[in-house]
């Protein structure tokens, strides 16, 4: 799955530097889902100062012993 996040350069650098992302879900679904980030890159529009992180996400299994 390909996703994009918008934010400040500092916020996006924090996300891009991580290998895993945990997302909380709506009710009637598993409470948390864990995804691995692949090919994360931050794109900046130099004229408007906008920042966007684009990455591929792959859902991964969570070991309950961890």
Judged by DSSP in three states, 10 sits in: helix
Evaluate whether 15 touches 21 at the Cβ level (below 8 Å): yes
* pLDDT tens for each residue of 10-64: 888 777 777 787 777 776 666 677 888 888 888 887 667 788 888 888 888 766 5
pLDDT at position 59: 85
Residue with tokens 């945990």: 22
Structure-token pair, residue 35: 């995804």
pLDDT at position 65: 54
> CA dihedral in degrees (17, 8, 30, 66; nearest 10)?
30
């Amino acid at each position: 799955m390909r996703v994009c996040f918008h934010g400040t350069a500092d916020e996006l650098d924090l996300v891009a530097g991580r290998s895993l992302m945990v997302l909380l879900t709506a009710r009637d679904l598993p409470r948390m889902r864990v995804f691995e980030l692949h090919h994360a890159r931050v794109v900046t529009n130099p004229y408007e100062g906008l920042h966007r992180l684009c990455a591929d996400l792959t859902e991964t299994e969570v070991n309950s012993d961890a």
